[in-house]
Structure 1
């Protein structure tokens, strides 16, 4: 099925690994991991590693609600690329597809290749490939035909984007793959845009579901939104205008960590929204709280009850307004 003779493909990889490109190319670095770290052979034609039905169910269960969250996005993506002979896969962080969209007439071909649910496409298992290498490098990419490590996979063109959870941890990936020889470079570029957009949509919806009671703010921050770090920079803000969550992009943008988010962090400070209106609101809020505290004889618990909030919430407001 390869686009070039198996032996020639292996020679090409070996030559690249010993040449100057090895120090410059991310692709060659992946080939190096495949051969040296995982001990794989480009010419090996062993069948792919396939999970049992039970293992596949467990893999789906580990993704929790993400599989359901992604359904609509996978459907829309498939409607855009399915007519060109592509299939769409949602894989977990271990490189195992747990959901799939594909044209019934192409199913036999894709099943034989292994582009199917339950087949392990990690880089450790299959060498350089779209799903495995995107997950290993945690970035969107395309592995086109003979860029694959294994000769048996060189008929494929695979475009993948990773998905990160609400705490910025690698969670899954969306893949669009094709085995058609007439797939043009321009169409592959269009697929890449669609795949990245689909991954961001799933990521954003998953983030919103993780903070159902919070207000979700799209942060621009200190970098232009065109910058990769600023895209999908989402902040979850609670009823006290404190930041309770941040997406991976937002964490990069504002240098946030789990530790920094564990402490109360005013959204206005983080987002640079200390405008005249914000200052006016803060002054009015400070005045109201001070009057209630006087009426409560300085008792914070009584004052909190009078204002219909918890004692902890009032303490946070007192700290934020410099009244404690």
Structure 2
């Protein structure tokens, strides 16, 4: 489909905004924001391009996420690049700060504006993949004439937002194409790949933020859902929860305030049937962990537990540890 500069696209948007579907369609709601809230015109306006200094500042604000995202963007591009797509990492303001694309297509994409430093916020460009995904904080595809600007109606853009370790929106991954032969089925495959890339990047970033913590998958009422697959909990050496991903926060009702207080992992992860763990069970688990960490060295395990070797011997007997447990140092 060719880009529509003949006024028909603007007329289509105007008709949709006053039609019966206006109150029910998320797309039309975005068109409404573009026209009424941001005061944009589908037929007017040119892309806003940052200066080199402004782009550098944007990259610095995103910090280490750009480096963390490198392998994720590379893998995603290797999957979609052959179909004439480019891959963009944009910050929360809709500014692409990193990009992957075929060199032979660079001139086309640069002219269109699918380039680092070009502002794709909804406030600047109206309904578009990057800006609308950020505004609505959800994965979506804006396909061709779903775009607000007439000059963008040749594009198909699939985007997934990225949330940090506290569940805050920080960025988005976009796969865009200007090919006219891009089929609906292939767009669906791209959507799966983009969402998967975003969630993988979130998980990698989460682990980097809590490098010394044990990262576990939360279990909740919707444990079989797609959200549950990304519900990560960070647990410290004292078995206290010190972090939770956005999915885990939604699933378990966790907030920054609740995570600032000591929060036993067993309470959050549902590892207990009663209000409190049986003391003997907790003590046995602590001893088993200490023995595992010491490689079976009783003296080292006792030292890690803060008790004497003889006290540990008595506890092992009282708790019924098997006779095969060695009581000699290795």
The question of a shared fold, defined as TM-score above 0.5 by the shorter chain, is answered with yes
What does residue range 215-254 of structure 1 map to in structure 2 within 5 Å? 215-228=214-227, 230-254=228-252
Distance 2:144 2:168 in 1: 29
Distance 1:155 1:266 in 2: 53
Residue 89 (structure 1) aligns with: 88
The reply on whether 1:181 has 2:180 as its aligned counterpart is: yes
What does residue range 59-208 of structure 1 map to in structure 2 within 5 Å? 59-208=58-207
Query: Aligned with 1:111: secondary structure?
Result: helix
8 A contact 1:88–1:177 mirrored in 2: yes
What does residue range 46-65 of structure 1 map to in structure 2 within 5 Å? 46-65=45-64
Q: Structure 1, residues 37-77: CA drift from partner, whole Å, max 9, x if none?
A: 00000011x32111111111111111111000000010000
Distance 1:93 1:140 in 2: 14
The offset of 1:283, in angstroms, is 4.5
Distance 2:25 2:191 in 1: 20
Distance 1:61 1:197 in 2: 25
Any gaps of 5 or more consecutive residues in structure 2?
A: 288-302, 309-330
Distance 2:4 2:223 in 1: 43
Give the ranges of 4+ consecutive aligned residues of structure 1 lying more than 2 Å apart after TM superposition: 1-6, 224-228, 275-281, 283-287, 303-308
Report the more deviating stretch, 24-33 or 49-58.
49-58
Residue 299 (structure 1) aligns with: none
8 A contact 1:2–1:151 mirrored in 2: no
Distance 2:286 2:202 in 1: 38
The offset of 1:3, in angstroms, is 4.0
Report the more deviating stretch, 219-228 or 162-171.
219-228
Query: Aligned with 1:128: secondary structure?
Result: coil
Report the more deviating stretch, 70-79 or 3-12.
3-12
The offset of 1:15, in angstroms, is 0.5
Q: Structure 1, residues 254-287: CA drift from partner, whole Å, max 9, x if none?
A: 0110000000111111111116997643154799
Residue 26 (structure 1) aligns with: 26
8 A contact 2:216–2:232 mirrored in 1: yes
Any gaps of 5 or more consecutive residues in structure 1?
A: 288-302, 309-324
Query: Aligned with 2:193: secondary structure?
Result: helix
Distance 1:241 1:307 in 2: 19
Distance 1:286 1:225 in 2: 30
Q: Structure 1, residues 151-202: CA drift from partner, whole Å, max 9, x if none?
A: 0000000000000000000000000000000000000000000000000010
Query: Aligned with 1:143: secondary structure?
Result: strand
The offset of 1:219, in angstroms, is 1.4
8 A contact 1:2–1:152 mirrored in 2: no
Distance 1:163 1:264 in 2: 28
Q: Structure 1, residues 101-134: CA drift from partner, whole Å, max 9, x if none?
A: 0000000000000000000000000000000000
Query: Aligned with 1:282: secondary structure?
Result: helix
Distance 2:304 2:209 in 1: 28
Residue 320 (structure 1) aligns with: none
Query: Aligned with 2:243: secondary structure?
Result: strand
TM-score, with length taken from structure 2: 0.84
Query: Aligned with 2:165: secondary structure?
Result: coil
RMSD: 2.2
1:8–1:236 Cα change, 3 Å: same
1:235–1:286 Cα change, 3 Å: closer
8 A contact 2:5–2:151 mirrored in 1: no
The offset of 1:5, in angstroms, is 4.6
8 A contact 2:219–2:270 mirrored in 1: no
8 A contact 1:95–1:131 mirrored in 2: yes
1:279–1:143 Cα change, 3 Å: farther
